[in-house]
């Protein structure tokens, strides 16, 4: 019963999001309209709702339009070797044999898109306040797991370093902002200020309702970062692979996935390439990187709910 309720709620959310992405918006009926609807015979209520059209659409829209804030620079269409916050290049095999764990593929990564803050940010709601000055560099991230575009949230997410103020203390931190119709969702992800990791269970702050303007840059001064695909562990039926980006002595783990063995072979798609891991008799893995991919991205297998496999790291 509980699972049926969850599926029903998920289906309703999906339908509403799909209609939103098709350009429709929802606003509540007035008390008078609700009273009129209540007087309609039950057998005719569905038809009444289908034909219902409020007479004062413009009057209702005007106060809503006044609250709308400008969206942050939008997502671009999906592209090969681009995922989340990064663009990927120069993938090469690091080791042809992996025993237990180790880096299997190396490559390079650059931040997908960056922008400079034009308007200052200063939040005032809640116990934690944030501030950022004009000139602060933000980078684009993508926390939309849905493959179907009509089921994706439409507002783009940008992250950048902030001053965090709480209980009289000021600290450096970084947060992400996602544009919605009436403000920006604010939350702290995993990762580092130079590159955000997954959202996980970070701190969520109240909606920020002042306009934010970002001016995109043609080039990112952060430069190239190192990308590793790492075998973290080998289970009886699956291999755990993590994607990590390194810069300035720091590491951000982008994801941890479990790829299932099929007849002792596990395959991770890499757009125009693929990583094939074959389990050997000595329990090692033979690794092959071939350039005959079918275009599928690396979002394969089961995404782990934790970024790390050890119990201590999994708790944070």
Structure letter (DSSP) for residue 148: S
What are the domain boundaries of the chain?
2-67, 82-111+220-314, 114-216
Residue with structure tokens 């074959």? 278
Rama region for 263: left / alpha / beta (φ>0; ψ in -120 to 50; rest): left
Q: Rounded CA gap, 169 and 186, in Å?
A: 20
Candidates 261, 115, 110, 118; CA nearest to 195 is 110
Q: Rounded CA gap, 106 and 95, in Å?
A: 9
Alpha-carbon dihedral 242, 243, 245, 251, rounded to 10 degrees: -20
Residue with structure tokens 């094939």? 276
Q: Rounded CA gap, 71 and 16, in Å?
A: 20
Per-residue pLDDT of the chain (316 residues; tens, 9 = 90+): 445 544 555 566 666 666 666 666 666 777 877 888 888 898 888 888 788 777 777 767 666 656 678 889 999 988 999 999 999 999 999 999 999 899 999 999 999 999 999 999 999 999 999 999 999 999 999 988 666 666 666 789 999 999 999 988 999 999 999 998 889 999 999 999 999 999 887 789 999 999 999 999 999 999 999 999 999 999 989 999 999 999 999 999 999 999 999 999 999 999 999 999 999 988 899 999 999 999 999 999 998 888 887 544 443 3
25-48 burial: b if 16+ Cβ within 10 Å, else e: eeeeeeeeeeeeeeeeeeeeeeee
Contact 187, 175 (CB under 8 A): yes
Tokens of 270: 């890499």
Tokens of 250: 């720091």
Q: Residue 176 forms beta bridges with which residues?
A: 159, 187
Cα–Cα distance list, 137 to 165, 193, 208, 217, 223 (Å): 20, 10, 19, 9, 14
Tokens of 89: 């290049």
Contact 200, 188 (CB under 8 A): no
DSSP-derived 3-state class of residue 161: strand
Residue 210 exposure: Cα atoms within 13 Å on the Cβ side = 10
Per-residue confidence (pLDDT) for residue 15, from 0 to 100: 65
List Cβ neighbours of 144 (8 Å cut-off, separation of 6 or more): 75, 152, 153
DSSP-derived 3-state class of residue 119: coil
Contact 132, 161 (CB under 8 A): yes
Per-residue confidence (pLDDT) for residue 5, from 0 to 100: 45
Per-residue confidence (pLDDT) for residue 289, from 0 to 100: 98
């Amino acid at each position: 019963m509980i699972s049926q309720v969850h599926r029903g709620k998920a289906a309703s959310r999906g339908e509403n999001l799909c209609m939103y992405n098709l350009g429709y918006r929802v606003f509540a009926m007035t008390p008078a309209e609700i009273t009129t609807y209540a007087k309609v015979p039950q057998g005719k209520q569905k038809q009444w709702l289908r034909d219902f059209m409020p007479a004062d659409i413009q009057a209702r829209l005007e106060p809503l339009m006044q609250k709308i804030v400008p969206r942050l620079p939008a997502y671009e269409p999906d592209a090969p070797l681009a995922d989340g916050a990064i663009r990927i290049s120069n993938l090469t095999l690091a080791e042809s044999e992996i025993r237990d764990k180790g880096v299997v593929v190396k490559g390079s990564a650059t931040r997908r898109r960056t922008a400079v803050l034009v308007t200052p940010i200063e939040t005032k709601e809640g116990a934690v306040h944030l501030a950022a000055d004009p000139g602060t560099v933000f980078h684009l991230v993508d926390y939309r797991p849905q493959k179907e575009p009509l089921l994706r949230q439409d507002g783009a997410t940008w992250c950048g370093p902030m001053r965090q103020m709480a209980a009289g203390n000021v600290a450096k931190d970084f947060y992400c902002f996602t544009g919605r119709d009436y403000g920006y969702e604010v939350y702290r992800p995993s990762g580092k200020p130079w590159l955000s990791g997954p959202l996980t269970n970070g701190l969520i702050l109240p909606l920020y309702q002042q306009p934010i303007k970002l001016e995109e840059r043609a080039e990112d001064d952060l430069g190239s970062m190192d990308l590793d695909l790492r075998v973290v562990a080998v289970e009886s039926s699956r291999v755990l692979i993590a994607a990590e980006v390194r810069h300035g002595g720091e590491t951000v783990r982008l994801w941890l996935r479990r790829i299932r063995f099929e007849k002792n072979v596990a395959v991770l798609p890499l757009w125009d390439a693929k990583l094939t891991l074959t389990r050997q008799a000595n329990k090692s893995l033979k690794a092959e990187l071939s350039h005959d991919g079918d275009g599928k991205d690396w979002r394969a297998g089961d995404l782990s709910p934790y970024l790390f496999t050890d119990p201590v790291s999994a708790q944070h």
